[in-house]
Amino acid sequence: MQKLTKAEEEIMQLFWDKGPSLVSALIDEMPDPKPPHSSVSSIVRILEKKGFVTHKAYGKTYEYYPVISKKEYSKFSLSKLISNYFEGSVNELVSFLVKENDITLRELERIKQELADKK
């Protein structure tokens, strides 16, 4: 799996939220000022080449839909983050979050309970 650019990830978020869509429907969901149809269409075709979306053709109209789920990409992105910034250690990530006050003791306890339940 390849890492997405910011623009590609924004388009994928729309697919994950809305499901199968025409390019024009994606543009309708975007904030103003809306990007040109050709720009969004180009990004969608790049996403298709990367294997993130595919399409069904209805004459000259293409409906695109995601092939990679949000969960799959989240897992990939988190693994890459841990590998690149935390020496491959989940413990280092959690330690960083605790030190930066991005995670509370209550949240840590909940995570610990979920891990215990999983076993």
Q: Which residue has the higher pLDDT, 95 or 81?
A: 81
Q: What pLDDT score was predicted for residue 111?
A: 83
Mean pLDDT of the residues in the chain = 92
pLDDT at res. 77: 94
Pair (15, 54) in one structural domain? yes
79 domain-assigned: no
Residue ranges making up the domain that contains 102: 88-119
110 and 60 together in one domain: no
Closest CA to 70 of 30, 118, 29, 18: 18
pLDDT at 85: 93
Is the distance from CB of 26 to CB of 8 less than 8 angstroms?
Answer: no
Give the separation between CA 39 and CA 89, rounded to whole angstroms. 39
Note the pTM of the prediction, 2 decimals: 0.81
pLDDT in tens, 42-93: 999 999 999 999 999 999 999 999 999 999 999 999 999 999 999 999 888 8
| Spatial CB neighbours of 97, under 8 Å, sequence gap ≥ 6 | 103
CA distances to 18, 76, 113, 115 from 84, in Å: 31, 12, 28, 24
In a domain, 27, yes or no: yes
What's the whole-number mean pLDDT along residues 103-112? 83
When divided into structural domains, the chain yields a total of 2
